[in-house]
Amino acid sequence: MTVQIIDTLAGQRAALETGSLDLFRSRVMEPIAPFWQTMLSRRPVGEGTTDPALEVAGAWGFYSPLDDREAGLEAIAAFEAAGTAQQCADAVHRGFDALDPGGHGFEVDLQFAFLLGHLRVLKRDYGAYTGAHTPSFAMVTGWPDPVGTPRLPVAAAHELNHVVRFAYEPWTPETTVGQYLVAEGLAEAFGVEVLGDPGLVGPYSAALSPEQLAAVKPRFRDALDLSGFPVLQGYIFGDWAAEQFGYPKQGLPDYAGYSLGYQVVRAYLNNTGRSAAEATYVPWREIVEQSGYFEG
């Protein structure tokens, strides 16, 4: 089992300094091809494209020489000054050791990349960062932001946790709202645990007020066993992306599932005394039941 950190930020810097799209392809998009080619099979960016790497970069907001090069170089310099890429890499290594997938019977060879993202895709209101994963790849993209930048290592560990969690409790067409809810809560709780600072919980997982959480709790309690990816998207992401991704609106606040999932997992960890790393290998239904979150 291995962890490989891909220095895509250095590749982006070199490509932006020269304006070379060939350099961007070879230093950024080719090393992360196992990620985007897997994702491309799920989320096509267009029919008949002659340059899929650049199509993906544009659609998913990977900063390239086609964007404002000076602004991009300033952003990379800010990340380099903050040591962000190394902090993310350190979080992935510490997180991998804490999860010890091999000790639990799972062969996981992981690649990780941190990229400069574009604000046309990233949400300033949520720290200007996001993450994604495949079964063997974890990725975080971000833009320098006072809220988001300190939380990027949390996001790196968050995506790592998804890789391992879905090796333990695989994603299938029958995956339920409850499983997805717990997976998001576990990933964020684990990320915070790896960094050792509960104050670094991300804005996606703290998007709802206590009053909003109380209001949506019955909806989620009744939906735990629902399945079907469009339904899951509606409960986890809320209504904001319904038109963009083509799922039915559920009348829920933005990122409702992230926030409520984090509360469920925090309640479980508090009740059981387990760590988020340990809970990664606990069935989702057991976590929900022992959290007591939906009782009463």
User: Are 269 and 188 a contacting pair, CB within 8 Å?
Assistant: no
Verify that 39 and 123 share a domain, yes or no. yes
Domain boundary among 134, 149, 168: 168
Q: Structural domain tally of the chain?
A: 2
Q: What is residue 42's predicted lDDT score, i.e. its pLDDT?
A: 61
Burial per residue of 78-98, b for 16 or more beta-carbon CB atoms within 10 angstroms, e otherwise: ebeeeebbbbbbbbbbbbbeb
Q: Is the pLDDT of residue 47 over 60?
A: no
Give yes or no: residues 161 and 242 share one domain.
Answer: no
Residues 21, 139, single domain; the answer is: yes
Residue type, 296: G
Whether 107 and 251 map to the same domain: the answer is no
Do 136 and 174 belong to one domain?
A: no
Which of 168, 196, 218 terminates a domain? The answer is 168
Whole domain around residue 200: which residue ranges? 170-296
Please say if the pLDDT value at position 96 is more than 60: yes
Residues 176-232 pLDDT 10s = 999 999 999 999 999 999 999 999 999 999 999 999 999 999 999 999 999 999 999
Residues 106 and 249 in one domain: no
Instruction: Calculate mean pLDDT across residues 66-79.
Output: 99
| SS3 state of residue 13 | helix
Judgement on whether residues 65 and 114 belong to the same structural domain of the protein: yes
Are 222 and 190 within one domain?
A: yes
How does pLDDT run across 219-264, given as a tens digit for each residue? 999 999 999 999 999 999 999 888 888 999 999 999 999 999 999 9
Bridge partners of 134, per DSSP, are 137
Q: Would you say the pTM of this structure is higher than 0.75? A: yes
Q: Do 247 and 121 share a domain, yes or no?
A: no
Same domain, 66 and 163: yes
How far CA 105 is from CA of 38, 85, 157, 286, in Å, comes to 24, 30, 20, 20
- Identify whether residues 175 and 153 lie together within a single domain: no
128 in the same domain as 215 = no
pLDDT value, residue 168: 98
Domain boundary among 145, 168, 191: 168
